[in-house]
Chain A
Amino acid sequence: GQSLEQPSEVTAVEGAIVQINCTYQTSGFYGLSWYQQHDGGAPTFLSYNALDGLEETGRFSSFLSRSDSYGYLLLQELQMKDSASYFCAVPGASKIIFGSGTRLSIRP
């Protein structure tokens, strides 16, 4: 079967750096996506890694290691507006599976 695991909650301080991990078990792996969702809002696409390595987009970076079936989302210079849930997802040939989400809380 297919599954993704990510921590349910993470707390960090404003201005700091936080890493949200995701491990996956899938067949026919294509890549790893990350989405952000604020309370009451819709998911917003953040990144997609098809190849191993780190991809940076502003304050957010995403990493993938296909050999370890592992990836992470790195958020730098945390701002209060980054408080949200973050989902990793594995898109396949005809399906996409989402993790259960990590709720990021940021303290001043």
Chain B
Amino acid sequence: DAGVIQSPRHEVTEMGQEVTLRCKPISGHDYLFWYRQTMMRGLELLIYFNNNVPIDDSGMPEDRFSAKMPNASFSTLKIQPSEPRDSAVYFCASSPREGGGLTDTQYFGPGTRLTVL
């Protein structure tokens, strides 16, 4: 298996622009997670899905952030409009059904390093 795939790996954009991050989870995994990592705030869970349905989005910073999972093999995290404080590494992770998601092994993608100028 190729593991969790994220694109793009790097994104540089200007303040006010829309940014879309993409994730393909491991085939057969029922849970998908979006995280943000910064030096100041560490690793934060933004939102997660179970069987394509959003379960908890309380970690989403504000209305500028939205996430979708139209099918079992694809998810997007969108920031519109982007701001310099959104600069971070965004990780997508997936996990199988057995452990219930949060307590189970999570497999992380390589991350997208976002820089908003």
**Residues of A in contact with B (beta carbons under 8 Å apart):** 30-31, 33, 41-45, 48, 50, 87, 91-96, 98-101
29 contacting pairs across A/B (C-beta < 8 A): A30-B103, A31-B103, A33-B103, A42-B108, A42-B111, A43-B93, A43-B106, A44-B108, A45-B105, A45-B106, A45-B107, A48-B99, A48-B103, A48-B105, A50-B103, A91-B103, A92-B102, A93-B102, A94-B56, A94-B102, A95-B45, A95-B59, A95-B102, A96-B45, A98-B42, A98-B43, A98-B44, A99-B42, A100-B42
Interchain CA distance A44-B93 in the complex, whole Å: 10
Report the minimal beta-carbon distance from A98 to chain B, rounded to whole angstroms. Answer: 4
How many residues on the B side are at the interface (Cβ–Cβ under 8 A)?
Answer: 21
Give every chain A residue within 8 A of B43 (Cβ-Cβ): 43, 87, 98, 101
Report the minimal beta-carbon distance from A3 to chain B, rounded to whole angstroms. Answer: 12
Interchain CA distance A99-B43 in the complex, whole Å: 8
Known pairs A94-B56, A98-B42, A101-B42; A43 contacts B91 (CB<8 A): yes
1/0 per residue, CB under 8 A from A, across B22-59: the answer is 00000000000000000000111100000000011011
Interchain CA distance A44-B3 in the complex, whole Å: 12
Give every chain A residue within 8 A of B44 (Cβ-Cβ): 98
Report the minimal beta-carbon distance from A89 to chain B, rounded to whole angstroms. Answer: 8
Interface centre among B104, B105, B106, B107 (most CB of A within 10 A): B106
Interface centre among B102, B104, B111 (most CB of A within 10 A): B102
Q: Which residue in chain B gives the minimum CB-CB distance to A31? A: B103
Q: In the bound complex, do residue A43 and residue B108 qualify as a contact, i.e. CB atoms below 8 Å apart?
A: yes
Give every chain B residue within 8 A of A92 (Cβ-Cβ): 102
Interchain CA distance A41-B55 in the complex, whole Å: 27
